[in-house]
Each structure stands twice: as C-alpha cells, then as structure tokens.
Amino acid sequence: MKPFLVFRVGDLVRQRSILATKSQNYGVITGIMPENLKCLWCDGEIRWFNPKQIYLIARGQNGQQS
C-alpha cells in the first residue's frame, strides 16, 4: 500500500533548515516522482527534493481557475 502523499502539483513549499538565519526561498511543485519532488524555485531554478527536505506553505489550486 502506498503512503498518502502530502504534496500535490502547484503547492507552495519551502526548504527545511536547521539554521534559522539561513535564507530559504520558496518554490512551487511542478512534478511528483515516487521518491522525489520537482520544484520550480523562486530564482528560476528547477530542483529535485525528497519530501522530507521541504514543508508545505500553501495548497495549490490543482489546476482549477479561481
């Protein structure tokens, strides 16, 4: 049985950090693989993260128009 996925495409996320002073930018999830998440970061860079490395800031709209 697969574990429940916390993240969905379009969610706003931030990288976890031990250091409180380290500036951690925001990203949007653009793709989900079995063990990694593809995120478009605010500096325009695409990065891959393990779900344990990031946390959820806000839910996306799942492709729905507002």
Q: Which residue has the tokens 């950090």?
A: 17
Cβ proximity of 46 and 39 under 8 Å: yes
**For position 25, what pLDDT does the model report?**
83
**For position 27, what pLDDT does the model report?**
92
pTM of the model: 0.75
Find, among 52, 56, 47, 48, the residue nearest to 13 by Cα. Answer: 56
pLDDT tens digits along 17-59: 777 656 568 999 999 888 899 999 988 999 999 988 888 888 8
61 or 56, which is more confident? Answer: 56
